[in-house]
Amino acid sequence: MSQDNMSHDPVPLVDIRAIYARLKDDIDARLAQVLASGGFVLGPEVTALEEALAARAGVGHAVGVASGTDALALPLLAAGVGPGDAVFVPSFTYLATATAVMQTGATPVFCDVDPESFHLDAADMARRLAVLPEGLRPRAVIPVDLFGLPYLDPALEALAGAHGLLVLADAAQSFGATRSGRPVGALAPVSATSFYPTKPLGGFGDGGAILTDDAALAGQLRALRMHGQEGGVARLPGGLNSRLDTMQAAVLLARLEVFDEDLARRREIARAYDEALAGRVGLQARPEDAQSTFAVYAVLSNRRDALRAALVEAGIGTRVYYEEPVHRMPAMGHPAGAAPLPVSERLCTEALALPIYAEMSDSQLERVIDVVRAAL
Ligand SMILES: *Cc1c(COP(=O)(O)O)cnc(C)c1O
């Protein structure tokens, strides 16, 4: 590594402050409007955002909620999923995919992932479905669009169809992606996304949305985000207080104005990394029919910890995605070592995220590439 590379400013993993700096005038104006209006909960900005999200996803309805986690829990609650129900989830994911299931009282059933796509492995799920413990009813499956790559597997659709399972897409990382010419939101009957600040379409706090073409379900979800209320009376069981904050909607409307540019830049950065690092690191599959959001740009290496140390030393932001396969986490009630899921376990020892954000400069990108190439 050259001295020159050592002397530059740090490169963060993502740069939230750069987003505000770039969009300050628009965001300030929109927030001032909310402050003046006093409509802090479910104000007109929320409705405007919901309409823009639904249009972009090519679905009839978007329902804004308080977080991506609630966006996963609410469709399960709407379907009456609860204690005694099994919901299939991948183990290589952010833990919220499973904690959302647990919020309903249902049991997450962990499945392994495909080693190329890092997506839920339908064949592994079929094996687990066949040996489901007595007393658990299979009810739903949550495929995850990991790192922003949309899930698409006819085998999973067939399996879910054969067993009458609800398919709920965890699109927390993939809003704005497309697969097979269809936008995320239109790829599953119901999809949940997140506006956590580090997501590609991030707000300045928590937020999420549910996307669906099903008008009746959208109506139920609108009631469930307000305690199951309809006409001032709690009608539906399982309701939460889970509204999307108007200030977050205002920020997100500003971010949507430049979202296509942001996605184009993220994809350009990912292509540059792919070309510069191919052969030195393992990468997630890049299906030709997919346009990922690259919410996370992950490399795989059996020298992951040495690579991480070199990046930290050079002042480059990095993070392990994910530290532990979810099925091994103590809160899941599965003793460590039980139900081995070999691909998920290996990925947790090899995957490392590199900086990726729309405001990243070419010189920052080159610096990251230099450091990775020198370390491996
Ligand atoms: C971020 C994320 C969530 C949860 O979203 P929050 O808005 O943080 O609640 C769920 N699943 C995945 C895969 C995520 O990356």
pLDDT in tens, the chain (376 residues): 444 444 567 899 999 999 999 999 999 999 999 999 999 999 999 999 999 999 999 999 999 999 999 999 999 999 999 999 999 999 999 999 999 999 999 999 999 999 999 999 999 999 999 999 999 999 999 999 999 999 999 999 999 999 999 999 999 999 999 999 999 999 999 999 999 999 999 999 999 999 999 999 999 999 999 999 998 999 999 899 999 999 999 999 999 999 999 999 999 999 999 999 999 999 999 999 999 999 999 999 999 999 999 999 999 999 999 999 999 998 988 655 557 899 999 999 999 999 999 999 999 999 999 999 999 9
Burial class of residue 17 (count of CB atoms within 10 Å of its CB; 0-12, 13-18, 19+): exposed
Cα 135 to ligand 1 centre (Å): 29
- Whether 132 contacts 109, CB under 8 Å: yes
Cα 371 to ligand 1 centre (Å): 30
Whose alpha carbon is nearest atom 2 of ligand 1? 172
Query: Is residue 248 in contact with ligand 1, taking CB distance under 6 Å?
Result: no
Rounded Cα–Cα distance for residues 262 and 94 (Å): 23
Query: Is residue 193 in contact with ligand 1, taking CB distance under 6 Å?
Result: no
Query: Is residue 12 in contact with ligand 1, taking CB distance under 6 Å?
Result: no
Cα 200 to ligand 1 centre (Å): 12
Tell me which DSSP letter residue 314 carries: T
Rounded Cα–Cα distance for residues 176 and 188 (Å): 14
- Whether 182 contacts 291, CB under 8 Å: no
Whose alpha carbon is nearest atom 1 of ligand 1? 172
Cα 275 to ligand 1 centre (Å): 29
Whose alpha carbon is nearest atom 13 of ligand 1? 94
Amino acid at 372: V
Determine if the pTM surpasses 0.75. Answer: yes
The closest-lying atom of ligand 1 relative to the alpha carbon of residue 69 is: 9
